[in-house]
Amino acid sequence: MSGPQRIEINEVGPRDGLQIEQAMVATDDKVAFVDALSACGFARIEVTSFTSPKAIPALADAQEVMRRIARRPGVIYTALIPNIRGLERALEVGVDEMNLVMSCSETHNRANLRMTREQSFAELAGILRLAVEAGKPCNVSLSTAFGCPFDGEVAASDVMALAQRLAQAGAQGITLCDTTGMAYPTQVAQLCERFQRELPATALTVHLHNTRGMALANAMAAWQTGVWRFDAAAGGLGGCPYAPGASGNVNTEELVHMFECMGVQTGVTLTRLLDIVRALPQLVQRGLSNALVTAGPRLTTHQPPAWLAERFPAA
Ligand code: COA
Ligand code: ZN
């Protein structure tokens, strides 16, 4: 069993995580969250989204957050962009890399972005043209790539056709998003293999949700086909407010822990990340159960029971 010996993580907690939280997180606290994440060793941090404040009120302060975070050299700060207006706002505050978004399925695109897929494609093609002029790299996140909570099964050929068109329009990378945790490992492996075969020059990222408990298994399946870029959210926060039943992203700490156990470098300092995760219930004002915080990393050992020394005295 093998895969790439090094992976890169795009921490999406400040965007995918906070977009769905009920509690309004103060701008100061968002900035502090991103700054703390910046010290963990992530390749990328998705700081916010430049969406309509009516659609995503939780991230209405996107520009202020971007302006106030401390940019750490070596970290790429990205943001989600659904339309040209979003690009304009993102350019004003110097986002390093744009993460455009549309869905593979028609109904989710309409529910989430209030456009048909063709309208979204036209919008994204316009963004790609402008971003090239501005010298900004663009990735496109394709929602519902493994299934849609409205339309059900999504054909791999539809996903690939859309990815091809976006790559031709100038997208440097594509993220295959499992918006509501419908993906399963063999499906992930097949689509990732096909993607890398048919679009070898396009950077592939996988974005998983743990809605049905398969996120880590799906990450393994992707990695085994050669995928080395993953989105993940600290504490397993996250979910799309316009996808019924959406729940958290793959936990960053569990992803880091799993890969580091296997000797795969993630660049992320787990102890630092776990400190952030412990503080998340305070940030989002709700309880969060967390297996790794409870159990500790796998070599967390415990004092043996005191009676063992009496029963088995040293020879
Ligand atoms: N940033 C800020 N404001 C924006 C904006 C953007 N990117 N895009 C549109 N707006 C504003 C418009 O100026 C307009 O404001 P007004 O009512 O004060 O005049 C209002 O939002 C409606 O604009 P319109 O172009 O008609 O947008 P819409 O209502 O059709 O919504 C989207 C389209 C794409 C902007 C919206 O659906 C959206 O932001 N969706 C994002 C969903 C999301 O992030 N989901 C989770 C991640 S997958
Ligand atoms: Zn997501």
Task: Convert the pLDDT of each residue in 148-207 to its tens digit.
Answer: 999 999 999 999 999 999 999 999 999 999 999 999 999 999 999 999 999 999 999 999
Give the pLDDT mean for 236-247. 95
- Is 103 a pocket residue for ligand 1 (Cβ < 6 Å)? no
pLDDT in tens, 61-103: 999 999 999 999 999 999 999 999 999 999 999 999 999 999 9
For the chain, which domains are there? 8-311 (3.20.20.70)
Minimum-distance ligand to the CA of 177?
2
Q: Which amino acid appears at position 254 of this protein?
A: E
- Is 82 a pocket residue for ligand 1 (Cβ < 6 Å)? yes
Residue 101 CB partners (closer than 8 Å, separation 6+): 80, 81, 82, 113, 140, 141, 143
Nearest to 170 by CA among 103, 123, 124: 124
- Is 85 a pocket residue for ligand 1 (Cβ < 6 Å)? yes
pLDDT at 9: 98
Which tokens sit at 29?
């606290």
Give the pLDDT mean for 16-40. 97
> Cα–Cα distance between 231 and 130 in angstroms, integer?
25
pLDDT at 314: 86
pLDDT in tens, 39-54: 999 999 999 999 999 9
Q: Does the structure show a pLDDT above 80 at 261?
A: yes
Whole-angstrom Cα Rg for the chain: 20
